[in-house]
């Protein structure tokens, strides 16, 4: 189900309240301009998108086709309909939206998209050969109070059977998308213990406007994804809805997500606390710009990263399905280059110098970030004395890297993209107060870049 809310931008149909009555976040849609010298990127606001607070409610198996209900494991899961309202706003009166793409990434692979509305036909009795490869035709009731929607919007959907789903909207007749409220929806398969849906929302749009007798076109996007967590309105045994708040609290990974093996990066800036507030603000801005630039030139989509911000640092989970050796080698090279360009015209006391740690292991989405031994391990490497000493003693370097033994053995040792393993030296990281001891390998940027 998708389209603008009737009554606001369509002539026919009953008047309905705006879909965005409870805003989650208002995000700028920006183009990004490379500044002179190529070492910084400046966002240019072109419009805005307001995400409403998502609505999630459980649906019963009765809405699925009989062939689906008869599957052996169909009753092992919880099925949830997630409704996502949003509103578009152009920067200037003469600007108009050509299309918009909404992307939903969940905080782990515990939820999978079975159906994205509007569903596509798959034949008279047709279930997909591989569950989730194409949508399943459902007989879905609307949520109570859900806006009545117009049918003048053409939609392409993608992400069936994955933990990342998306909708691309455009006017069915080739006209502009009107500013105002829209709604998209998905049916998710989730573990039976799930009581919340968490994820990240981002958007990419096309805008056009007349200028000097021609049409200018831009492709603005949200700079960072917006994280959300919403409770599921659950069904009782008799099929009546109940608030998820009445469900007993569960602890442990099963209540908050399924652990997945992820490549974890932790980064931290040197000498952050010794700067005044203006220096701290400048450092944080440069830190984000350097990561954006390095990811771009390494061919990595920063919009697919999951991260936990920490002021002068970040914990980053790279997406599943990467060519990890290539990604590590390219990212380290581009980080070194981006830092070198940024720092070349700065005073020594204003330089951005980074420590970076890399590890791989099981990570669990948690209520306030991420949990698991892999997160702890990479954080310990980042804060270790050998890594701090390596950066401090290499006065001309801007980046010092520590990789865990498993990353060295599985990635660095094979020297992808000229990442020279012999430039890494082995160290032992010991933190007795944390009962932590691990082998690692350390290098500084001027030794491998």
DSSP secondary structure string for all residues of 192-248: TT--EEEEEEEEEEEEEEEETTEEEEE--EESSPEEEEEEEEEE-TTS-EE-GGGSP
180-190 and 112-117 as β-strands: parallel, antiparallel, unpaired? antiparallel
**Sorting pLDDT into bands at 50, 70 and 90, what band is 177?**
confident
**pLDDT at 77 > cutoff 80:** yes
pTM score, two decimals?
0.49
Highest mean pLDDT among 27-36, 93-102, 151-160, 185-194: 93-102
**Mean pLDDT of the 128-132 span:** 30
**Sorting pLDDT into bands at 50, 70 and 90, what band is 40?**
low
**Mean pLDDT of the 272-287 span:** 82
- Architecture per CATH, domain 3-250, reads as Sandwich (2.60)
For position 258, what pLDDT does the model report?
55
Spatial neighbors of 277 by CB under 8 A, at least 6 apart, are none
| % of the chain beyond a pLDDT of 70 | 75
Domain positions in the chain: 3-250, 260-448
**CA neighbor of 84 nearest in space, from 101, 109, 99:** 101
Least confident range from 79-83, 269-273, 299-303: namely 299-303
**pLDDT at 399 > cutoff 80:** yes
Break the chain down into helix, strand, coil percent, rounded to 5.
Answer: 25, 40, 35
For position 70, what pLDDT does the model report?
80
Q: Average per-residue pLDDT in the chain?
A: 76
pLDDT in tens, 203-213: 999 999 887 77
221-222 and 23-34 as β-strands: parallel, antiparallel, unpaired? antiparallel
**pLDDT at 367 > cutoff 50:** yes
**Mean pLDDT of the 223-232 span:** 85
Q: Which element (helix H / strand E) includes 407?
A: helix 405-410
Highest mean pLDDT among 63-67, 165-169, 416-420: 165-169
CA–CA dist 116, 136 (Å, integer): 9
**Mean pLDDT of the 175-195 span:** 83
Least confident range from 75-84, 132-141, 276-285: namely 132-141
**Sorting pLDDT into bands at 50, 70 and 90, what band is 391?**
very high
**Mean pLDDT of the 123-136 span:** 35
Angle at 408 between CA 402 and CA 412, to 5 degrees: 100
Which comes out higher in pLDDT, residue 144 or 389? 389
- Architecture per CATH, domain 260-448, reads as 2-Layer Sandwich (3.30)
CA–CA dist 51, 388 (Å, integer): 41
Q: Is 177 exposed, middle or buried (0-12, 13-18, 19+ CB in 10 A)?
A: buried
Which comes out higher in pLDDT, residue 15 or 62? 62
Q: Which two tokens stand for residue 32?
A: 């990004």
Cα dist. 27→45, 53, 64 in Å?
A: 10, 14, 36
Asked, as a colleague might, if the bond just before 118 is cis with ω within 30 of 0, I would say: yes
For position 426, what pLDDT does the model report?
95
**Sorting pLDDT into bands at 50, 70 and 90, what band is 408?**
very high
For position 246, what pLDDT does the model report?
36
**Sorting pLDDT into bands at 50, 70 and 90, what band is 183?**
confident
């Amino acid at each position: 189900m998708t389209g603008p809310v009737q009554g606001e931008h369509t002539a026919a149909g009953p008047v309905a309240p705006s879909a965005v009555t409870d805003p989650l976040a208002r995000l700028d849609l920006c183009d990004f301009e490379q500044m002179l010298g190529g070492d910084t990127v400046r966002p240019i606001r072109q419009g805005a998108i307001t995400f409403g607070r998502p609505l999630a409610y459980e649906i019963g198996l009765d809405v699925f086709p009989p062939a689906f209900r008869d599957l052996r494991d169909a009753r092992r899961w919880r099925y949830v309909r997630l409704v996502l309202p949003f509103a578009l706003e152009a920067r200037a009166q003469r600007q108009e939206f050509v299309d918009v793409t909404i992307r939903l990434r969940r905080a782990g692979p515990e939820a999978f998209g079975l159906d994205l509305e509007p569903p596509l036909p798959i034949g008279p009795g047709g279930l997909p050969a591989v569950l989730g490869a194409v949508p399943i035709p459902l007989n879905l009731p609307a949520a109570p109070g859900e806006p009545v929607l117009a049918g003048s919007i053409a939609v392409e959907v993608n992400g069936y059977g994955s933990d990342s789903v998306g909708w691309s909207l455009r006017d069915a007749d080739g006209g502009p998308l009107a500013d105002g409220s829209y709604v998209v929806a998905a049916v998710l398969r989730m573990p039976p213990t799930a009581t919340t849906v968490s994820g990240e929302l981002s958007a990419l749009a096309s805008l056009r406007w007349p200028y000097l007798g021609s049409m200018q076109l831009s492709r603005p996007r949200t700079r960072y994804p917006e994280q959300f967590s919403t409770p599921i309105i659950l069904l009782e045994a008799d099929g009546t809805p109940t608030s998820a708040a009445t469900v007993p609290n569960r602890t442990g990974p099963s209540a908050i997500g399924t652990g997945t093996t992820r490549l974890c990066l932790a980064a931290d800036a040197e000498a952050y606390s010794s700067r005044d507030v203006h220096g701290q603000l400048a450092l944080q801005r440069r830190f984000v710009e350097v990561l954006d630039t390095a990811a771009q030139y390494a061919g990595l989509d920063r919009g697919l990263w999951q991260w936990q911000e920490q002021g002068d640092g970040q914990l980053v989970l790279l997406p599943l399905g990467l060519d990890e050796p290539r990604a590590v080698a390219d990212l380290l090279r581009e980080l070194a280059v981006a830092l070198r360009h940024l720092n070349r015209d700065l005073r020594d006391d204003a330089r951005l110098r980074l420590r970076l740690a890399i590890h791989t292991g099981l990570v669990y989405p948690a209520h306030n970030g991420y949990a698991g031994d892999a997160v702890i391990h990479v954080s310990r490497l980042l804060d270790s004395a050998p890594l701090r000493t390596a950066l401090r003693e290499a006065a001309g370097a801007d980046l010092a890297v520590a990789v865990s033994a498993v990353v060295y053995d599985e990635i660095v040792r094979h020297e992808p993209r000229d990442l020279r393993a012999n430039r890494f030296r082995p160290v032992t990281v010991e933190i007795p107060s944390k009962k932590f001891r691990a082998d690692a390998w350390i290098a500084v940027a001027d030794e491998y870049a």
